[in-house]
């Protein structure tokens, strides 16, 4: 660390000591690590949930998960279907499958490893989560690079290489400014600075503790950073989902399937569809014949693809083919449908 990079760390940590956000998974700034054996579990759980997801969206899920599964052992002992259902609505469902697999592996290992390299061997734990858990949960020196850090560091050092290539240079610079002590607090300080002051648009440089060190601010164009390679348009897929309903003994019911464990929305409860996710534009047949009614379109964007899903109602006169179950419409909220199918259900219910 040079004198200047050391000043960046100490200045940011001082700012964090008085401006840290109060979050349910946080240890107060500068406080010793909690002796509670479930502390690494809580840090890991929050970091998995926070991937690609806002703090506001994560909070209720984090609290719900901790209430139902207070320790990593409780989560490991859960049924995968229950974990998937509790995750419904949070998106990026492979995270939930990995979460469950990781909990089981941690129990086999006798607890969370504390070293970054060991953490990276766990399911769903990449470079970012390993560094975050090692530093925040175990107080290790680790360089944590998330989107906030990319933004702050690329601005501090006016890094001209567009992402994703620029990430290498950003990581080198992040390593230079990460202190040996309080690396976890330093990572969280950057997350807070990125969320409150160094925002993507209109960064509040006048209030920023690092403004005296920031090359992008001095250039007058902080919003130019991080530079990004032009985005490719997402391919559009089209598909059909069937809303198959009947009058059961307890009122109206809809036919739900559980999607195969691998692939898009794998392991989630869902409406039957024409296979759009596997083959591009679907074309498969409904698991039942009958009179159909077109209910309209649901649009949804996944990481690599946009989808237009036609929702078609069929009133069942017989049992649909394949595996599935009749689900009471009055309890549809408890089915744990992922956002795409929850949208389709809302469309169907609005028209019934
Ligand atoms: S001075 Fe402005 S651009 Fe630079 S780190 Fe602070 S908020 Fe971000």
Tell me which residue has its CA closest to atom 2 in ligand 1.
Answer: 205
pTM of the model: 0.78
How far apart, in whole angstroms, are the C-alpha atoms of residue 298 and residue 217? 43
Tell me which residue has its CA closest to atom 8 in ligand 1.
Answer: 198
The pLDDT value recorded for residue 18 is: 97
Tell me the CA end-to-end span of the chain in Å, nearest whole number. Answer: 65
The pLDDT value recorded for residue 305 is: 87
Give 332-336 contacts, CB < 8 A, sequence gap 24+.
Answer: 332/254, 335/85, 335/88, 335/256, 335/269, 336/84, 336/85, 336/86, 336/87, 336/88, 336/268, 336/269
Tell me which residue has its CA closest to atom 5 in ligand 1.
Answer: 152
Ligand 1 atom nearest to 193, measured from its CA: 7
User: In 3D, which of 92, 63, 97, 61 has the Cα closest to residue 80?
Assistant: 97
Tell me which residue has its CA closest to atom 3 in ligand 1.
Answer: 222
Give me the residue label for tokens 């209109």. Answer: 202
The pLDDT value recorded for residue 351 is: 64
Domain ranges in the chain are 3-224, 236-350
Q: Tell me the best of 8, 200, 206, 216 to mutate to test the pocket of ligand 1, counting ligand atoms within 8 Å of each CB and taking the most.
A: 216
Instruction: Give me the active site residues, please.
Output: 47
- What is the whole-number distance in angstroms between the Cα of residue 210 and the centre of ligand 1? 6
Ligand 1 pocket, residue 215 CB under 6 Å:
no
How far apart, in whole angstroms, are the C-alpha atoms of residue 70 and residue 65? 7
**pLDDT tens, the chain, 352 aa long:** 665 777 999 999 999 999 999 999 999 999 999 989 999 999 999 999 999 899 999 999 999 999 999 999 999 999 999 999 999 999 888 899 999 999 999 999 999 999 999 999 999 999 999 999 999 999 999 999 999 999 999 999 999 999 999 999 999 999 999 999 999 999 999 999 999 999 999 999 999 999 999 999 999 999 999 999 888 888 889 999 999 999 988 789 999 998 887 778 888 899 999 988 655 556 778 888 888 899 999 999 888 889 999 999 999 888 999 889 999 999 998 898 999 999 999 999 986 6
CB 122 within 8 A of CB 99: no
- What is the whole-number distance in angstroms between the Cα of residue 20 and the centre of ligand 1? 17
Ligand 1 pocket, residue 208 CB under 6 Å:
yes
Ligand 1 pocket, residue 152 CB under 6 Å:
yes
CATH of domain 3-224: 1.10.340.30
User: In 3D, which of 206, 182, 198 has the Cα closest to residue 149?
Assistant: 198
Ligand 1 pocket, residue 177 CB under 6 Å:
no
Those residues whose C-beta lies under 8 Å from the C-beta of residue 188, and which sit 6 or more positions away, are: 16, 20, 26, 29, 136
How far apart, in whole angstroms, are the C-alpha atoms of residue 68 and residue 74? 8
Residue 15 in 3-state DSSP? helix
CATH topology of domain 236-350: Nucleoside Triphosphate Pyrophosphohydrolase (3.90.79)
How far apart, in whole angstroms, are the C-alpha atoms of residue 20 and residue 193? 9
11 is written with which tokens? 């200045």
The pLDDT value recorded for residue 260 is: 82
- What is the whole-number distance in angstroms between the Cα of residue 15 and the centre of ligand 1? 13
User: In 3D, which of 193, 97, 207, 206 has the Cα closest to residue 146?
Assistant: 193
């Amino acid at each position: 660390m040079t004198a200047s990079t050391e000043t960046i760390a100490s200045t940011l940590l001082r700012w964090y000591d008085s401006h840290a956000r109060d979050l349910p998974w946080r240890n107060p700034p500068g406080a010793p690590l909690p002796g509670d054996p479930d502390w690494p579990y809580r840090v890991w759980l929050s970091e998995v949930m926070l991937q690609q997801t806002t703090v506001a969206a994560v909070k209720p899920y984090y609290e719900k998960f901790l209430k139902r599964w207070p320790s990593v052992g409780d989560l490991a002992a859960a049924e995968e279907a229950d974990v998937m259902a509790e995750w419904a609505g949070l998106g990026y469902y492979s995270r939930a499958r990995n979460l469950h697999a990781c909990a089981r592996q941690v129990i086999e290992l006798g607890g969370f490893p504390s070293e970054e390299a060991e953490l990276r061997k766990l399911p769903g734990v990449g470079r970012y989560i390993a560094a975050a858990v090692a530093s925040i949960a175990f107080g290790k020196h680790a360089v944590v690079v998330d989107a906030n850090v990319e933004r702050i560091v690329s601005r501090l050092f006016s890094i001209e290489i567009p992402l994703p290539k620029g990430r290498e240079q950003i990581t080198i610079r992040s390593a230079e400014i990460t202190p040996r002590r309080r690396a976890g607090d330093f990572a969280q300080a950057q997350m807070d600075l990125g969320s409150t002051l160094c925002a993507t648009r209109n960064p509040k440089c006048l209030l920023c503790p690092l403004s005296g060190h920031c090359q992008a601010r001095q250039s007058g164009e902080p919003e130019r950073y991080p530079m990004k390679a032009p985005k490719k348009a997402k391919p559009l897929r089209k598909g059909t989902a069937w809303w198959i309903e009947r009058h059961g003994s307890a009122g109206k019911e809809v036919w739900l399937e559980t999607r195969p464990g691998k692939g898009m929305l794998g392991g989630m409860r869902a409406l039957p569809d024409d296979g759009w996710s596997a083959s591009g534009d679907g074309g498969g047949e409904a698991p039942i014949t009958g009179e159909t009614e077109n209910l309209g379109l649901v649009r949804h964007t996944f990481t690599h693809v946009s989808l237009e899903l036609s929702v078609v109602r069929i009133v069942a006169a017989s049992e649909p083919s394949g595996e599935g179950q009749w689900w009471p419409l009055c309890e549809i909220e408890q089915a744990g449908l992922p956002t795409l199918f929850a949208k389709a259900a809302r469309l169907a219910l609005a028209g019934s």
